[in-house]
Structure 1
Amino acid sequence: MQIPFSEIFSSVDKIILDSREDCTKGLFVPIKGEKQDGHRFIPMAIEHGASFIFTEEDCSELSKEYPEVRFISVESTIDALQALGGYARSLYSGLVIGVTGSVGKTTTRAMIAKALSVEKSVFETKGNANSQLGLPITLFSMAKENKEISVIELGISIPGEMHRIGEIASCDIAVFTNIGSAHLENLKTKENTCFEKMHILEGNQKEVSLYLPKKDAILGTLTEEKIRAMGFLGEKKLNLFFYEKKEEIPLSVPGEHMEDNASVAMAIGLSLGLHKQKLLQGLLEFQGLKGRGGRLSTEDGIMIIDDSYNASPDSMKASLKVLASEKGAKRKIAVLGDMNELGDNEIAYHREIGELLKSLPIDALFTLGKKGEEIRKAMGEKLLPGKACFNLEELSLSLEEEIKPGDLLLFKASNSLSLSKVIQEIRSKHCLPK
């Protein structure tokens, strides 16, 4: 059956993957996963207002029961979702800026969007909808809102993912944050990661601009000739730029990685003819994102850097350097947990963090998880006060016994460790404003 893209786009307001959500005027796309088959929840999606359904299964009985719902038979709901995303992209006439990299995609995307939004109407990815499932939903929303500029995020964790999402995103400008150690469990090497992410250059556009960090060991050595040899450009014109910090840019969020983000945001904005002072205004207004370096303070004077959403060796090192550089705190306390998806060298990567901590002016270290414990072990005779903890309750109790007004705490770990729950405990016990 041919998918009626035009009818879907004009009839629905949103795409839904979770039947528990409000599906009013929505297209529900059931996904077959390892543990659950979304087709089981089609009735729930309909009860919650879904008006269109993609389905790989026979829904003739449901169609009789719900004649007002449009059931569209497809061979693969994932392929159909991505095709719809591609259709939505074809309707959008604005400029698309795509951000990818091993770490820092979301913050970089948000900073670029903030800088450009002072003078332009800007759409940006909601949350982290950047995958083979999330990206098509982003493109659909992007076309619906139809802003002048869209700053979207493209993420992968396994080989082959970027080939499809890069093709349907068809970015006019592509930004790389870095090539680091994230997802090496599946991508194996940094060189493989670079090659896979370069698929972001695919799409129907005739010209693409590529912004690469000059200081990155892999990306900083690329040339147009090397990039063309990867085979993704075809006949496209490539405008290749390398970004780096060239001047002090006033920011409300500290850190060398934030300065890098600001540098590429400034470079893109100036290339689009925007005013420097307006770009600087937008960057100064950026306050960080929840779970990604945002700042919190309790009423009794405990300060928190909430970087708990995710972690890789590179991002953890950057966050620790931010903590170490902070002035005004009575004590600086690092709360670090396991970093996942690092492959065979995961223990070595955790021990690297411990080696770095030996040289930083940080006062205490608490860790969560068996791999996190390796950070403390690596410190040897220079081990900081604190404790290795193995569940959230133990960590919460240990921190509650330790922290005092004037302390600054950094929280950093892979998202699966749920360090955010410990922050919530501190919020409730110390009257942290929401």
Structure 2
Amino acid sequence: MIALSLAEIAEVVGGQTHDIPDSSVRVTGPVVRDSREAGPGSLFVAFAGERVDGHDFAAQVVEAGAAAVLASRPVGVPAIVVADVQAALGALARHVVGRLGTTLVALTGSAGKTSTKDLIAQVLRRKAPTVFTPGSLNNEIGLPLTALTATEETKFLVLEMGARGIGHIRYLTGLTPPKVGLVLNVGSAHIGEFGGREQIAEAKGELVEALPPAEEGGAAILNADDPLVRAMASRTKAKVILFGESDEADVRAENVRLTDNGQPSFRLHTPSGASDVTMRLYGEHHVSNALAAAAVAHELGMSADEIATALSEAGSLSRWRMEVTERPDGVTVVNDAYNANPESMKAALRALAAMGKGRRTWAVLGKMAELGDEALAEHDAVGRLAVRLNVSKLVAVGGREAAWLQLGAYNEGSWGEESVHVSDAQAAVDLLRSELRPGDVVLVKASRSVGLESVAQALLETGAEGEVSAR
């Protein structure tokens, strides 16, 4: 963060200083909400949660060197006390971003946000210093914390924005007003909370509504292949750039294919030229993500060759997202267990099928959360797709939703052995340990709440007779 005195921060957030002997002391370190991350010159934000109250760690963080605590009550050590800690954090982020003059890129979508954000960051940082959302910290707390890591040297600030209802993205864009806004897709993620895809589109489109007009440099990057996203062009005064495989897209892909390892390769076309891309990531769904990143980079002044080189060298920066590891015994484990929705689940299955040509493939899948009335049909469809893609065996893990996955596969199958339903992660591990053989490919995926990453981790520990090699 740019250095600010405690007096300046108190004024920005509308707070009162308590137990601060010298309000000219400056915050020169990071703004943190985890007491373990507090250090010299930092500002600790004390949130009162259901299980842990950050105020209880106030003395500890000051002892570690924190300049002060942003708190909702006096804590006996230097503190700036406010009525609403979350609102104060947002106000501080808005102030800092306004002073920096960085180009702020924001993105949203039902699927692929984090992977695309990582691609954008890896491309843009070849051009200039770039700060971006770590992992998927894309809410009203994670977003301002990320924005506050920017400094005077930061040229590009790339922020992922999530939403669980109408108005959420409008709130986030109020904290960190974007110049470039990217909408990836409108899918089924959180459809149970929103009530339908039209409502999801309404919420995601708040991003393009927040952009400045074209004459002030505003740019809306929209998916030409998604009708609900493409229709958002009417909701913005910004310049509209379309990406996708459509002939009408400004940034598009031609000659898309997958390598023998399941990595996408294509010819990238931009308004400034064309160049070939072969990605290190796995699955054809990353083509759309790459085109989105390319459209952002083109708008910010990078050439087709520069973009193609960066995309070809980019890797996965966030854990448990198509994380491919080959065990010493030849079994390949694909850990995509961070989260799941119908679109990402189907994309992962297609990637598994591409990676597993000539090999046995296993899909270890759990429930997709927050699908509301669509839950049964969507789980059934995923189970059926696994069989249609000739996945050797579907292992459905967990309760009712997993049973629907298995039933879909059973009804689609022809010999009854294409799928099995197990009660929990340990049962899945036990099954796989007894039946896996060298050369098999195992995909592990479910919503975050299921915790299926434990299956992937157990399989890697099982196969670690020597050193495990990540690809």
Normalising by structure 2, what TM-score?
0.82
Counterpart residue number, 1:378: 408
* Residue of structure 2 in register with 1:139 after alignment: 147
Deviations 1:131-183 (A, max 9, x none): 100000111002x2632222221112233322221112111111111111111
* Residues 300 and 423 of structure 1, relative CA distance in 2, 3 Å threshold: same
Q: CA deviation at 1:283?
A: 0.6
State the shift of 1:294 in Å. 2.3
Structure 2 residue aligned with 1:183: 190
**Who is 2:74 aligned against?**
58
Give % identity.
27
Retained in 1: the 8 A contact 2:129–2:153?
Answer: no
Shift of 1:328: 4.6
Q: 1:396 — aligned with what? A: 429
CA distance in 2 between counterparts of 1:196 and 1:270 reads: 26
Matching of residue 358 in structure 1 with residue 387 in structure 2: yes
Aligned runs of 1:278-357 on 2, under 5 Å? 278-289=306-317, 290-357=319-386
2:31–2:44 Cα contact (<8 Å) kept: yes
Which is worse superposed, 175-184 or 154-163?
154-163
| Pair 218,291 (structure 1): closer, same or farther in 2 beyond 3 Å | same
Partner of 1:208: 218
Deviation digits for residues 319-355 of structure 1 (CA, Å, limit 9, x no counterpart): 1111112255521111111111222322222111112
Task: Point out the more displaced range, 282-291 or 381-390.
Answer: 381-390
Instruction: Write the letter of the residue equivalent to 1:252.
Output: R
Going from structure 1 to structure 2, the CA distance change for 1:332 and 1:91 (only over 3 Å counts) comes to same
- Counterpart residue number, 1:239: 239
Query: Which aligned pairs between 1:249-264 and structure 2 lie closer than 5 A?
Result: 249-264=277-292
Give the match's secondary structure for 1:218. helix
Whole-angstrom CA distance in 1 between matches of 2:211 and 2:153: 19
The residue type equivalent to 2:81 in the other structure is S
Distance 2:188 2:25 in 1: 39
Q: Which residue of 1 aligns with 2:92?
A: 84
Match of 1:218 in 2: 228
Alignment pair present for 1:414 and 2:443: no
How far apart are 1:192 and its partner, in Å?
Answer: 1.5
Q: Does 1:195 align with 2:202?
A: yes
How far does residue 387 in structure 1 lie from its aligned partner after superposition? 2.6
**1:184 shift after superposition:** 2.0
Change (3 A) 1:252 1:204: closer
Query: If each structure's helix is expressed as a fraction of its own residues, which one has the higher value?
Result: 1
Deviation, 1:5, is 4.4
Cα distance in 2 for residues equivalent to 1:353 and 1:8: 59
State the Cα distance separating 1:299 from its structure 2 match: 0.8
Paired letter, 1:280: A
SS in 1 for 2:329: coil
Compared with structure 1, are the counterparts of its residues 276 and 10 closer, same or farther at alpha carbon in structure 2 (3 Å cutoff)?
Answer: farther
Contact 2:360 2:392 in 1 (8 A): yes
Matching residue within 96, 100, 110 for 2:104: 96
What are structure 1's unaligned runs of at least 5 residues?
64-69, 229-236
Instruction: Say what the alpha-carbon RMSD is for the aligned residues.
Output: 2.3
CA 1:34–1:202: 2 relative to 1, 3 Å: farther
Check 1:255–1:369 CA distance in 2 against 1; reply closer, same or farther (3 A cut).
same
- Match for residue 273 of structure 1 among 279, 301, 305: 301
Partner residue in 2 for 1:165: 172
In structure 2, what is the Cα distance between the partners aligned to 1:213 and 1:360? 26
* AA in 2 matched with 1:133: I
Distance 1:5 1:391, change over 3 A: same
Unpaired runs of 5+ residues, structure 2, are 1-6, 14-22, 246-252, 255-265, 267-276
Work out whether 1:148 is the aligned partner of 2:155: yes
The one-letter code of the counterpart of 1:326 is M
Equivalent pair of 1:167/1:204 in contact (CA under 8 Å)? no
- The alpha-carbon deviation at position 362 of structure 1 amounts to 0.9
Mapped to 1, the partners of 2:211 and 2:406 lie a distance apart of 50
Count of residues in correspondence between the two structures = 415
CA contact (8 A) 1:157 1:183 kept: yes
Q: Secondary structure of the residue that 1:388 maps to in structure 2?
A: strand
Contact 1:167 1:200 in 2 (8 A): no
1:395-424 CA-to-partner distances (Å, cap 9, x unmatched) read: 111111121110011111111211111111
**Partner deviation per Cα, 1:260-295 (whole Å, 9 max, x = no partner):** 111122222223331222211111112334311121
Q: 1:28 aligns with which of 37, 44, 47?
A: 44
Residue of structure 1 equivalent to 2:65: 49
Distance in 2 (alpha carbons) for counterparts of 1:184 and 1:204: 25
Alpha carbons 2:410, 2:418 under 8 Å: kept: no
- The 1-side partners of 2:425 and 2:64 are apart by 35
Is 1:38 aligned with 2:67? Answer: no
CA deviation after TM superposition for structure 1 residue 384, in Å: 4.4
1:423 aligns with 2:456: yes
Query: Which amino acid is the alignment partner of residue 151 of structure 1?
Result: V
Secondary structure in structure 1 of the residue aligned to 2:58: helix
**Counterpart-to-counterpart distance in 2, 1:336 and 1:356:** 12
- Counterpart contact for 1:170–1:201, Cα < 8 Å: no
Are residues 279 and 204 of structure 1, via their aligned partners in 2, closer, same or farther at CA, if it must alter by over 3 Å? closer
Q: How far did 1:207 drift?
A: 4.2
**Counterpart residue number, 2:274:** none
- The residue type equivalent to 1:414 in the other structure is S
How far residue 300 of structure 1 moved from its aligned partner, in angstroms, is: 0.9
Q: Please give the alpha-carbon distance, in whole angstroms, between the structure 1 residues aligned to 2:334 and 2:29.
A: 36
Give the superposition deviation at 1:22: 3.7
Name the amino acid aligned to 2:194.
L
Instruction: For residue 114 of structure 1, report the CA deviation from its aligned partner.
Output: 1.6
Q: Distance in 1 between matches of 2:64 and 2:469?
A: 33
SS of equivalent residue, structure 2 residue 105: strand
CA distance in 2, matches of 1:204, 1:57: 37
Which residue does the alignment assign to 2:126? 118
Give 1:49 shift. Answer: 3.4
User: How far apart are residue 117 of structure 1 and its match?
Assistant: 2.6
Q: Mean alpha-carbon deviation: is it higher for 256-265 or for 309-318?
A: 256-265
